[in-house]
């Protein structure tokens, strides 16, 4: 009786939390975990109960097939109802390989997975990232490849996937991450990040990044944070960050800088553009300056550019100011205008004085007024009269 009861209970539980073969469900994390060593593909949407919001594929080693005879990996996910998702968790897919496990993927392996908003690939030696391999995910809040390695990629490997800061998830990130995953070629394919114009955080750490193209990040006009820490490159190309006006923080920890007068620009340039640089700006070479700060190398080895040279202008230095040829012309014009104004003012004053003197001279040469003449005539007549009376 008790055995029958147990069977009934287990059947009821499976009806509530049924799963494909090889899969289990953790209700506290809303996580369906499917073990590649035990599963039977395809992982059919209709066999998950409750419907999946977070899926972990573990113990992966080999191909995630996109069709028969062994697949596809997923089927029926076009029926998923995102309206019932728990807003406390981002819809997520995690692919985790066995130790030293390989991963072979194609775009078709992720058909109908556009509901996923965070994608993580962990500890996988990825043999190839083909053209638009992640296209079916569409908009992604967080894309991460952690651990393992990436053997090959092409310029369009990430095209079709749009990493952006999504407001529909509890932790909006807009984050593109490759961390502790060895880039076998030592770098990214040309233009690989051109499609990620909406990413706000880019992290490429401890990834065997040996070479960086000047325009590697030029399309990332919304990027605010960049980490290139703990990689074997020894310098950054000039103008790497030029035009990325949203950038506020760059992490450059663990870099063995090849110090030359043309390579030590990052600390000064980033600081002058109000971008915070984190990390020790310390020379790894030349040998005489190993473990010495860039600023000390610059002071000892690099001719100090005057303010005109730093600004890329032609002119001469006056104190701490660059006076350009245009400035000289403007100053000369101003001085000439000032002198001509003084001359004009002097001529006006001189002319007014001349006119005033002429008027005064004219006044002195005029005949006496009529009244004065009458008075003088009267005085003379009186004198005549007085003489006659006396005679």
Q: Is the pLDDT of residue 367 over 60?
A: no
What CATH number did the domain enclosing 114 receive?
A: 3.80.10.10
Is the Cβ–Cβ distance between 210 and 187 less than 8 Å? yes
- The yes-or-no verdict on residue 16 having pLDDT over 80 is no
Percent of the chain with pLDDT over 70: 83
Domain end call among 290, 305, 320 = 305
Quick check: 232 pLDDT over 70?
yes
Specify the length of the chain in residues: 391
pLDDT at residue number 310 = 64
Pick 326 or 293 by higher pLDDT.
Answer: 293
Asked if residue 238 has pLDDT above 90, the reply is yes
CA 52 – CA 74 distance, rounded (Å): 12
Say whether pLDDT at 3 is over 70.
no
Residues 311 and 298 in one domain: no
User: What is the pLDDT confidence band of residue 362, given thresholds at 50, 70 and 90?
Assistant: low
d(CA 275, CA 267): 9
Long-range contacts of the stretch 87-90 (C-beta < 8 A, 24+): 87/170, 88/170, 89/29, 89/30, 89/53, 89/54, 89/170, 90/117, 90/118, 90/141, 90/142, 90/169, 90/170, 90/171
pLDDT band with cut points at 50, 70 and 90 for residue 7? very low
Find out whether 119 and 144 touch, Cβ atoms under 8 Å: yes
- Which residue matches tokens 């110090």? 259
Q: What is the average pLDDT score of the chain?
A: 88
Determine the number of helices (DSSP H) and then strands (DSSP E) in the chain. 6, 24
Confidence of residue 323 (pLDDT cuts 50, 70, 90): confident
Position 353 scores a pLDDT of 82
Shared-domain flag, residues 301 and 320: no
Evaluate whether residue 356 is within a structural domain: no
Q: Give tens-digit pLDDT for 123-150.
A: 999 999 999 999 999 999 999 999 999 9
Ranking 19-28, 134-143, 285-294, 339-348 by mean pLDDT, the lowest is 339-348
Strand arrangement of the beta sheet that strand 92-97 belongs to? 23-26, 31-35, 54-60, 92-97, 118-122, 142-146, 175-179, 201-205, 225-227, 249-251, 276-278
Same-domain check for residues 30 and 174: yes
- State the chain's maximal CA–CA distance in angstroms: 186
Q: Are residues 238 and 315 in the same domain?
A: no
How much is the pLDDT for 390?
55
Q: Does 38 reside within a domain?
A: yes
- What is the extent of the structural domain holding 76? 19-305
User: Is a pLDDT exceeding 90 seen at residue 151?
Assistant: yes
Q: Is residue 293 a contact partner of residue 282, using CB atoms and an 8 Å limit?
A: yes
Asked whether 279 and 256 are in contact (CB, 8 A), the reply is no
282 confidence band (pLDDT: 50, 70, 90)? very high
pLDDT of 112 above 60 = yes
Query: Quick one: 250 exposed, middle or buried, by C-beta within 10 A (0-12, 13-18, 19+)?
Result: buried
pLDDT at residue 198 tops 50: yes
Q: Is the peptide bond before 163 cis (omega within 30 degrees of 0)?
A: no
Last residue within a domain, chosen from 305, 329, 350: 305
Number of structural domains (the chain) is 2
Write phi, then psi, for 79 (nearest 5 degrees).
-90, 0
**353 in a domain, yes or no?**
no
Residue 135 lies in a domain: yes
Query: DSSP assignment of 254-321, as one string?
Result: T--EE--TTT--HHHHHHHTT-EEES--BEEESGGGTT-BHHHHHHHHSPPPPHHHHHT--EEEETTE
User: Do 237 and 317 share a structural domain?
Assistant: no
Alpha carbons within 13 angstroms on the beta-carbon side of residue 191 total 7
Confidence of residue 234 (pLDDT cuts 50, 70, 90): very high
Q: Identify the pLDDT of residue 363.
A: 65
Band (8; pLDDT cuts 50, 70, 90): very low
Query: 261 and 310 share a domain?
Result: no
């Amino acid at each position: 009786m008790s055995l029958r009861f147990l069977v009934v209970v287990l059947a009821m539980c499976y009806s509530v939390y049924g799963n494909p073969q090889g899969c289990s469900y953790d209700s506290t994390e809303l996580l369906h975990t499917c073990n590649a060593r035990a599963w039977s593909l395809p992982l059919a949407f209709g066999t998950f109960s409750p419907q999946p919001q977070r899926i972990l594929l573990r113990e992966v080693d080999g191909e995630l097939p996109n069709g028969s005879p062994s697949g596809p990996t997923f089927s029926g996910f076009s029926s998923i109802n995102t309206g019932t998702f728990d807003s406390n968790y981002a819809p997520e897919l995690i692919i985790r390989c066995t130790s030293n496990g390989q991963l072979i993927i194609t775009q078709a392996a992720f058909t109908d997975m556009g509901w996923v908003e965070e994608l993580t690939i962990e500890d996988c030696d990825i043999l190839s990232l083909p053209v638009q391999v992640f296209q079916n995910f569409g908009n992604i809040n967080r894309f991460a490849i952690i651990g393992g390695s990436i053997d090959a990629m092409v310029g369009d490997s990430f095209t079709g996937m749009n990493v952006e800061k999504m407001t529909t998830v509890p932790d909006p990130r807009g984050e593109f991450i490759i961390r502790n995953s060895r880039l076998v070629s030592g770098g990214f394919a040309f233009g690989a990040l051109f499609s990620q114009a909406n990413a706000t955080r880019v992290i490429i750490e401890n990834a065997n990044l040996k070479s960086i193209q000047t325009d590697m990040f030029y399309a990332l006009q919304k990027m605010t944070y960049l980490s290139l820490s703990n990689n074997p490159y020894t310098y950054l190309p000039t103008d790497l960050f030029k035009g990325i006006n949203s950038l506020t923080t760059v992490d450059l920890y663990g870099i063995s800088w090849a110090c030359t007068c043309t390579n030590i620009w990052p600390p000064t340039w980033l600081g002058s553009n109000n971008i915070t640089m984190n990390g020790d700006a310390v020379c790894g070479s030349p040998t005489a300056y190993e473990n010495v700060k860039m600023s000390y190398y610059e002071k000892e080895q690099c001719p100090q550019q005057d303010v005109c040279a730093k600004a890329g202008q032609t002119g001469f230095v006056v104190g701490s100011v660059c006076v350009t040829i245009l400035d000289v012309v403007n100053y000369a014009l101003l001085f000439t205008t000032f002198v001509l104004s003084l001359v004009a003012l002097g001529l006006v004053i001189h002319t007014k004085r001349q006119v005033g003197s002429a008027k005064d001279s004219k006044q002195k040469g005029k005949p006496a007024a009529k009244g004065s003449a009458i008075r003088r005539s009267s005085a003379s007549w009186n004198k005549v009269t007085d003489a006659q009376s006396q005679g």
